[in-house]
Amino acid sequence: MAAAASYLPILLFLAVALGLSAAFVFLPMVAARFTGAAKPYPEKLTEYECGFPAFEDSRSQFDVRFYLVAILFIVFDLEAAFLFPWAVTLDETGWVGWGAMMVFLAELALGLAYAWKKGALEWE
């Protein structure tokens, strides 16, 4: 009896998790039925992001420059994410922390110089 009672919190947690999961799956479907989202008409099916029909097939290949710019953005966004905590804790990390960050910034500068030299930032 005592062993079964120790599993009660776990079973309650699982029941709540399953209930919430089912609610997040089925309640939007029910709401769509009541609001009319399940009955599309031609105006609903038109392009809404850019305002005009697409020129090409949606499965066409993107130019690699889109990916390069995205990767460069992520790299320098992460740089900023590392600079703020480093600056806050610089008095605790001392010269070792300062040197490590300078090595990190030098690596990023070399990467930026390489990307710039290869023309990854040029847009034609």
* Statement to judge: residues 28 and 45 lie in one domain: yes
How many CB atoms sit inside 10 A of residue 20's CB? 10
Coil, strand or helix at 89: coil
Q: What is d(CA 111, CA 120) in angstroms, rounded to the nearest whole number?
A: 11
Q: What is d(CA 24, CA 14) in angstroms, rounded to the nearest whole number?
A: 15
* Statement to judge: residues 122 and 83 lie in one domain: yes
* Statement to judge: residues 68 and 109 lie in one domain: yes
Above 90 in pLDDT, residue 13? yes
Residue 120's domain is classified under what CATH number?
1.20.58.1610
Mean pLDDT of the 11-18 span: 96
* Statement to judge: residues 34 and 6 lie in one domain: yes
14 lies in which domain range?
Answer: 1-60
Residue ending a domain, among 60, 76, 96, is: 60
Residue 25: what pLDDT? 95
Backbone CA torsion sign across 85, 86, 92, 97: positive
* Statement to judge: residues 44 and 69 lie in one domain: no
Residues in the chain: 124
Residue 53: what pLDDT? 66
**What is the pTM (predicted TM-score) of this model?**
0.46
* Statement to judge: residues 48 and 68 lie in one domain: no
Residue ending a domain, among 37, 60, 83, is: 60
Backbone CA torsion sign across 65, 71, 75, 78: positive
* Statement to judge: residues 36 and 78 lie in one domain: no
* Statement to judge: residues 68 and 120 lie in one domain: yes
Over residues 28-84, the pLDDT tens digits come to 999 888 887 777 777 776 766 666 666 666 677 777 777 878 888 888 888 888 888
Over residues 40-53, the pLDDT tens digits come to 777 776 766 666 66
Angle of helix 64-88 versus helix 90-118 axis, rounded to 10:
160
User: Residue 110 — very low, low, confident or very high, per pLDDT cuts 50/70/90?
Assistant: very high
